């Protein structure tokens, strides 16, 4: 018996199909990873704020059903995760911001979608339930006010889990990813480089100047900021999930994040945009603001609106 020279029976995967964004991303909403920075980002003009407003306008043009957002200031103990179900949430107050910038902004909790998220998470094995007394925090409403200055769309807040397991939060994003096919806008709000212990606070405390940059950012901040940009802009699909979770093992991670809370939303975003179906999806970083010398507020969008869909 000679060598079998017949071609393999299984046909090879269609060349380049996975990498053709038009094919893989049709009908999937983009997902944002926003760095909300300090509370002063709520009241000050910035490139980030301009970009947030643009993203909000685009989302409204596409007639989104609502926003589903994970922040950086609400976590649950044990193995629990919660979804905000307070029908009339108050806002946690913030310092260094004129109250006129936020006190009268009307929040719009989306209770039906909250229940839908609880059901999706429970079905996937999460210990998930609603929290009917949770008040909203600036990590979320700072972003909403900039994105949607004329009115808040129906919004659902997903908590973090206080064990800060990157794979857990990635799975939360993966579980809620199907909402992208139903015209929901998923957002993670945290920070690319966000270590409050290593910020230089004096210009903000003395002069209300959060953008003062008397010295360059320190090496560890530049290094980790670059690592985050590289992962988000240069990987996609399951590779994005692996690379994003691995960032928490980066030698500069603990310098860039004294606590894990402001990086969990990045895991959520990787879960929501890191399916095989997302291979080759576009990713952009259209805006960035350094604050307090060492805090890097990078703004990312993963995926893009399908050209064929209009409101
Ligand atoms: Fe924060």
| Maximum C-alpha span of the chain | 86
Predicted structure pTM score: 0.91
CA of 276 to the centre of ligand 1 (A): 31
The alpha carbon of 141 and the centre of ligand 1 are apart by a number of angstroms equal to: 11
Right CATH for 25-302 from 3.40.50.720, 3.40.830.10, 1.10.10.10, 3.40.50.620:
3.40.830.10
Enter the tokens of residue 114.
Answer: 């909250």
- Tokens 């990590």 — which residue? 139
Tokens of 201: 């606070």
The rounded Å distance from CA 271 to ligand 1 centre is: 21
Tens-place pLDDT, residues 195-235: 999 999 999 999 999 999 999 999 999 999 999 999 999 99
**What pLDDT is stored for residue 306 in this prediction?**
86
DSSP β-ladder status, 80-84 and 127-131: parallel
Q: Which of 21, 24, 18, 48 has the alpha carbon at shortest distance from 35?
A: 48
Separation of CA 101 and ligand 1 centre (Å): 17
Strands (E) across the chain are located at 31-35, 66-76, 80-84, 127-131, 155-161, 184-190, 283-291, 295-302
Cα–Cα dist 140/130, whole Å = 17
pLDDT, mean of residues 96-122:
96
Q: How many Å lie between the centroid of ligand 1 and the Cα of residue 199?
A: 13
- pLDDT (tens digit, 9 = 90+) per residue, 134-193? 999 999 999 999 999 999 999 999 999 999 999 999 999 999 999 999 999 999 999 999
Cα-to-centroid distance, 196 and ligand 1 (Å): 9
Distance 190 CA to ligand 1 centre (A): 6
pLDDT for res 308: 52
CA of 294 to the centre of ligand 1 (A): 15
Q: Where are the domains of the chain?
A: 25-302
d(CA 192, CA 288) in angstroms, rounded, equals 10
What spacing in Å lies between the alpha carbon of 311 and ligand 1's midpoint? 33
- Give the mean pLDDT of the chain: 92
Whole-number Å distance between alpha carbons of 152 and 145: 7
pLDDT at 49 over 50: yes
**Residue 16 Cα, ligand 1 centroid: separation in angstroms?**
40
Rounded CA-CA distance 14/5 in Å is 22
């Amino acid at each position: 018996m000679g060598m079998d020279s017949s071609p393999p029976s299984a046909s090879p995967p269609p060349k380049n199909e996975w990498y053709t964004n038009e094919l893989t991303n049709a009908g999937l909403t983009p997902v944002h990873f926003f760095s909300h920075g300090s509370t002063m980002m709520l009241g000050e003009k910035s490139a980030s704020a301009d970009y947030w407003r643009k993203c909000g306008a685009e989302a409204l043009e596409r007639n989104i059903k609502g926003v589903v957002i994970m922040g950086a200031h609400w976590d649950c103990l044990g193995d629990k995760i919660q979804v905000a179900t307070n029908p009339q949430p108050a806002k946690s107050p913030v310092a260094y911001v004129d109250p006129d910038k936020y006190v009268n902004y009307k929040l719009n909790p989306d209770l039906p979608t909250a229940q839908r998220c609880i059901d999706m998470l429970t079905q996937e094995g999460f210990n998930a339930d609603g929290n009917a007394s949770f008040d909203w925090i600036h990590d979320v409403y700072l972003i909403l006010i900039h994105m949607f200055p004329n009115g808040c769309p129906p919004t659902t807040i997903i908590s973090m889990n206080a064990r800060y397991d990157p794979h857990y939060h990635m799975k939360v994003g993966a579980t809620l990813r199907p909402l992208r096919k139903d015209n929901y806008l998923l957002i993670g709000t945290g920070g690319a480089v966000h270590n409050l212990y290593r910020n230089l606070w004096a210009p903000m405390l003395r002069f209300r100047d959060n953008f003062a940059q008397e010295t360059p950012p320190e090496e560890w901040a530049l290094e980790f900021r670059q690592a985050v940009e590289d992962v988000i802009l240069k990987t996609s699909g399951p590779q994005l999930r692996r690379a994003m979770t691995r960032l928490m093992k980066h030698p500069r991670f603990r310098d860039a994040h004294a606590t894990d809370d402001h990086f969990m939303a990045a895991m959520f975003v990787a879960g929501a945009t890191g399916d095989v179906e997302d291979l080759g999806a576009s990713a952009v970083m259209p805006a960035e603001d350094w604050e307090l010398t060492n805090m890097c507020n990078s703004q990312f969008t993963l995926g893009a609106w399908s050209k064929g869909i209009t409101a």
